[in-house]
Amino acid sequence: MGMAMGVSAPVMPVFASAIGINTLEYGMMTSMMGWTRLIMNVPAAWATDHFGRKPLLISGPLIATIAMTGTATANSYSQMMLWRLMLGMGESFQMSGAQTSLTDLSTAKNRARTIAPMQMCWSAGMALGPILGGYLGDYLINNKYGGIFKLEMVCRNKVYCDKQFKSK
């Protein structure tokens, strides 16, 4: 998940701007995922103990995948907020299931060594993801796929403008 979040970081402002999200809304949209994770951690921990680790290890990434796909296809601020809320929930489920599973597998003597690789992978994804996302964003905009990317942005802007002018 760290890589997926990292890759989207440099292109998310461009995407948000293309569908008419202003700076305040972008900030709220960005924090939605964190707030959802914060609120969902206790229910996710309860679900991990009540239903077991595997259901959360499966449902968390599945929910996050659906939410990331929804984020990519969102056409409005409200849709984006819904998908970001769902993404936070999926991440909370996955992390609760993963942390608890690793804690179950470890002993008091090797707990840090058992859990550290997961945290390292998350950090590596967040460190390398923005570089990859920035490169891919530039590549899609400036190279052979640029026409497709620009066409999508033009279409999104047209949809946004049509909505704005019809509502006035």
pLDDT tens per residue, range 79-130: 999 999 999 999 999 999 999 999 999 999 999 999 999 889 889 888 988 8
- 33 phi/psi in degrees, rounded to 5: -65, -45
Mean pLDDT of all residues in 60-86: 91
The chain-wide mean pLDDT, for the chain, equals 84
CB 7 within 8 A of CB 132: yes
Domain count of the fold of the chain: 1
- The parent domain of residue 109 ranges over 2-167
CB 73 within 8 A of CB 152: no
Could you tell me the CATH number of the domain that includes residue 11? Answer: 1.20.1250.20
pLDDT at 57 over 70: yes
Torsional class of 106: left (φ above 0), alpha (ψ -120 to 50), beta (otherwise): beta
How many residues are listed for the chain in this entry? 168
* Residue 144: predicted pLDDT: 57
- 58 phi/psi in degrees, rounded to 5: -90, -50
Token code pair at residue 163 = 């909505």
* Residue 168: predicted pLDDT: 47
Number of DSSP helices (H) and strands (E) in the chain, helices first: 7, 0
C-alpha–C-alpha distance, residues 31 and 79, integer Å: 15
C-alpha–C-alpha distance, residues 65 and 92, integer Å: 13
Token code pair at residue 66 = 């659906």
CB 2 within 8 A of CB 129: yes
C-alpha–C-alpha distance, residues 145 and 156, integer Å: 17
CB 20 within 8 A of CB 77: yes
